A and B are shown apart, each in its own frame.
Chain A
């Protein structure tokens, strides 16, 4: 995402609110122009980016974007594809040619079945919002074990934090493997107690996503819950 300008007070806007004059700014994300005024499309906070003004939405559905990594749950198995729920308004088909295995026609059920959870990448979204997902990329696989936490997709950026600060802190302190899907699903795997603590920490991040110094407060929370853990500088990437 582009670098945002110097901080201004975060004003709450609702659909139809005037954000700025069209002569001063251009309409950005979730904004439109009408009669020389930029107006909001959704409820959220007013956000300035260079010479555009837009709205950071506070809710709504996850809309898949090409290249997003998401966590999907298998809904249905067909002879040559699987149907997945990725928390979007539309179901996402995963074709046999997009999995890392050689699958015979009609043999799909042996590899993935209803209820399985998989890491995916959004391969393509066309103009009629038909989604295609793939598992053919490094690190994409079927998930076994661990815990799945679901939060609002708009809060995902807070879970990752500024250049990954929050997620890195969570990983280092808990010694868990964490995978964050852009669609609001988070998979945590590790020691049972630690997993619980991380899940709880993520709930805190979701509930207090708009407050300051969240990383510090989450760190305190984990230190209290897991006194033996300490943040080491060891980088453990997925």
Chain B
């Protein structure tokens, strides 16, 4: 958003530097249940982003003062590894990771049925192993798969994707160069069953028309991400029960 470059981000044919069209998202790979010691887990790749997510709980909430007697609290920890970016990221919590953790927790609270587990806490750990723009979307996408894998009751799975603007074009799912040298970045997360928006931010400038167009694109793409999430969860189930058969309980 801030930098300037001589790079042509979108050429005259509407093709971006990584060969995508303006309305094309990066390839996504999701695998659920990758960590044995967590209640639920997920590994996700979107383009060059690599995200690992683990869910623990519901369990007794610690520290005690965070407990809510009416519902469970969702505690998210978003963390970027020191090696996740080209120049070393100083490890530990910073202002950005606190913001993203809060954002993701609030988005997840919209779908998770926290009222079923009063006084408990659901802990979500998101580790960014490799970053290439759009990690908050990737983190939220992975977190909702990990929550479903943990068997936590939720209304729906949350897919997230970004849209934005670079070189005057409205783009879907910005990569690092487009994010750094573009004009706007708009991450968005929805509840697919109702098209409710549970996360929306905008960094940069877009006109009203551009934003509307970008959101349309992002919501359509989020539904595609949702299908990939569902598929990952179903594959996880199929691998647990290799032999499909009738049950006699």
Contact = CB atoms under 8 A, between A and B. Distances in A.
A34 B194 contact: yes
B60 A91 contact: yes
Main secondary structure of the interface of A (DSSP, over half): loop
Nearest to B244: A210
25 contacts: A14-B234, A15-B156, A16-B192, A35-B194, A39-B193, A41-B155, A42-B151, A42-B152, A42-B154, A58-B237, A59-B150, A60-B150, A61-B39, A89-B58, A89-B59, A91-B60, A128-B118, A128-B119, A129-B117, A129-B118, A129-B120, A162-B249, A209-B241, A211-B243, A212-B246
B47 interface: no
Contacts of A113: none
Interface of A: 7, 10, 12, 14-17, 30, 32, 34-35, 39, 41-44, 57-61, 89-91, 127-129, 157-158, 161-162, 208-215
Q: Which 9 A-B pairs have the closest CB atoms?
A: A60-B151, A16-B156, A212-B245, A59-B151, A210-B241, A211-B243, A89-B58, A211-B245, A41-B153
Interface of B: 39-40, 57-60, 69, 111, 113, 117-120, 148-157, 191-194, 229-230, 233-234, 237-238, 240-241, 243-249
Contacts of B152: 42, 60
A12 B237 contact: yes
Given A43-B148, A90-B60, A90-B119, 20 more contacts: A15-B111, A16-B157, A17-B230, A32-B155, A34-B194, A35-B194, A39-B155, A39-B193, A41-B113, A42-B153, A59-B149, A59-B150, A89-B58, A128-B118, A129-B117, A129-B120, A208-B243, A210-B241, A211-B245, A212-B248
Nearest to B40: A59
B226 to A, nearest CB: 8
A210 B156 CA distance: 25
A181 B178 CA distance: 56
Contacts of B155: 15-16, 32, 34, 39, 41
